[in-house]
Amino acid sequence: MDNRMDEQLNDDTDPSPGRPEWVAEAVNETPEKSDPSKANVPLHRPTLARRIGEEFVTWVKTFASAAVYASLIVTFGFQVARVEGKSMEPTLQDQDRLIVNKAVYQFFDEPQPMDIVMLYYPRDPDKSFVKRIIAKEGDTVRIENGQVFVNEVPLPDSFVPPEFRSHENHGPEVVQESYYFVMGDHRNNSSDSRHWGQVPQKYVIGKVQLRWWPLADATLF
**Among 16, 34, 65, 87, the one annotated catalytic:** 87
CB-CB contact of 179 with 199 (8 Å)? yes
**Among 102, 131, 136, 207, the one annotated catalytic:** 131
| 45 Cβ contact partners less than 8 Å away, ≥ 6 residues apart | none
Judge whether 131 counts as a catalytic residue.
yes
DSSP letter string, 163-178: GG-----EEEEEPPTT
Judge whether 86 counts as a catalytic residue.
no
In whole angstroms, give the CA distance from residue 81 to residue 88. 14
| 66 Cβ contact partners less than 8 Å away, ≥ 6 residues apart | 1
DSSP letter string, 81-139: EE--SSTTTTTS-TT-EEEEESHIIIII----TT-EEEEEETTEEEEEEEEEEEEETT-
Length of the chain: 221
In whole angstroms, give the CA distance from residue 82 to residue 201. 22
* Helices and strands counted in the chain (H then E): 4, 12
The candidate with the shortest Cα–Cα distance to 182, out of 128, 119, 127, 125, is 119
Active site residue ranges: 87, 131
